[in-house]
Structure 1
Amino acid sequence: MLTAHIYHPHAHAALSDRLILTYEDRFLRRKVLVLASGGTILVDLPKTTSLDHGGVLVTTDGREIAIEAAVEPLLQVTGPDLPRLAWHVGNRHTPCQIETARLLIQPDHVIADMLVRLGARVDEVAEPFTPEGGAYGHGRTHGHDHSHGHGPHDQTHDHGHDH
């Protein structure tokens, strides 16, 4: 069985397989998972990590496994005052994917009812979920360092790309 022990926020080599995981399943430290190819992999990270869509796990033999957000049931929130609606969602510490014309949140009838009372339209959808990382670093991140944890002396380097 393959074993992955390093997580990177982006690929450095050709990808050898994919892991398709829900938002909740992308929080892990040690677990056996099924790859898209049908094989299995033991993820054995030093600490609990939020695996972002687009990141990779590196196996002990150097292969890179792509992390993909799985399609899952969500609520699409739209309305004339999206910033206000986003504030109310964030005020309840609810993971939220913020887009120009909509918000995506996990199904929650209490939050949905509150949003409707605030003038939102709430619709059920099934899509990949990549919420904002926020102050606690869970979910999609827009900025990251390149510390890769290759051993006792972490290596930080520039790949020559912008984030």
Structure 2
Amino acid sequence: MLTLTRVLPPNAAAAVVTTLSLTAGDRAKSRHRFTADDGTPLYLTLARGTVLRGGDLLAGDGDPAGLIRVVAKPEPVLLVTAASSFDLLRAAYHLGNRHVSLELAPDGLKLEPDPVLEAMLAQLGGLAIAPATLPFEPEAGAYRSGMHSPIHSHSHDHN
């Protein structure tokens, strides 16, 4: 079993030997056994609190000659869109007030399916809510320093 202990930026100069497709929940597990997409057994032993992003590269303690690329695995989500930016902003406010994990985009929101939240959003009005199966990359949160986020620069060592 290959033990992976380091996270490298997506642009690291080394050969990728396989991929590891993980849901958003699985990408938040810092110590767990997984199976790579090619069937290779893997064990993650990363720093506690590490949240992986699609595109990250994983390596063991030795030479990073064979890296594993993390893929954001498609999973069930709710897509929320609105005709007005205010309606979308209001939806994000109400979801954030409930500490819901969200993926933000200029034209919509993605969240894990939840019938109570879906009903709340429908009550707000002005929103289109649709189920989908897509990769989910929720925001890491303002207080999670050192965690990955879509704008994370990767300018430091993850040890």
TM-score range, shorter chain: 0.7 to 0.9
Q: By how many angstroms is 1:145 displaced?
A: 4.3
Q: Which residue of 2 aligns with 1:98?
A: 104
Alpha-carbon RMSD: 1.8
Q: Which runs of 5+ in 1 are unaligned?
A: 151-163
Distance 1:134-1:93 versus aligned 2 partners, 3 A rule: same
CA contact (8 A) 1:57 1:64 kept: yes
SS at match of 2:142: coil
Q: Is 1:64 matched up with 2:70?
A: no
More displaced stretch, 56-65 vs 123-132 = 56-65
CA contact (8 A) 1:2 1:60 kept: no
Q: Distance in 2 between matches of 1:5 and 1:108?
A: 34
Instruction: Give the alignment partner of residue 136 of structure 1, picking from 126, 143, 154.
Output: 143
TM-score when normalising by structure 2: 0.85
Q: Distance in 2 between matches of 1:99 and 1:29?
A: 27
Q: Which runs of 5+ in 2 are unaligned?
A: none
Query: 1:64 corresponds to which letter in structure 2?
Result: L
Q: Work out which structure has the larger RCO, using CA pairs closer than 8 Å and 6 or more positions apart in sequence.
A: 2
Q: Which residue of 1 aligns with 2:19?
A: 18
* Post-superposition CA distance 1:37-85 (Å, at most 9, x none): 1111111123231111111111233222111111100001112321121
TM-score when normalising by structure 1: 0.83
Q: Distance in 1 between matches of 2:15 and 2:31?
A: 24
SS at match of 2:122: helix
CA contact (8 A) 1:19 1:65 kept: yes
Say how many residue pairs are matched. 150
Distance 1:97-1:108 versus aligned 2 partners, 3 A rule: same
Q: Distance in 1 between matches of 2:131 and 2:158?
A: 40
Identity of aligned residues (%): 33
CA contact (8 A) 2:6 2:59 kept: yes
Q: Which residue of 1 aligns with 2:42?
A: 41
CA contact (8 A) 2:7 2:58 kept: yes
Q: Which residue of 1 aligns with 2:131?
A: 124
Q: Is 1:78 matched up with 2:85?
A: no
CA contact (8 A) 1:22 1:128 kept: yes
Q: Distance in 2 between matches of 1:139 and 1:72?
A: 20
More displaced stretch, 61-70 vs 132-141 = 132-141
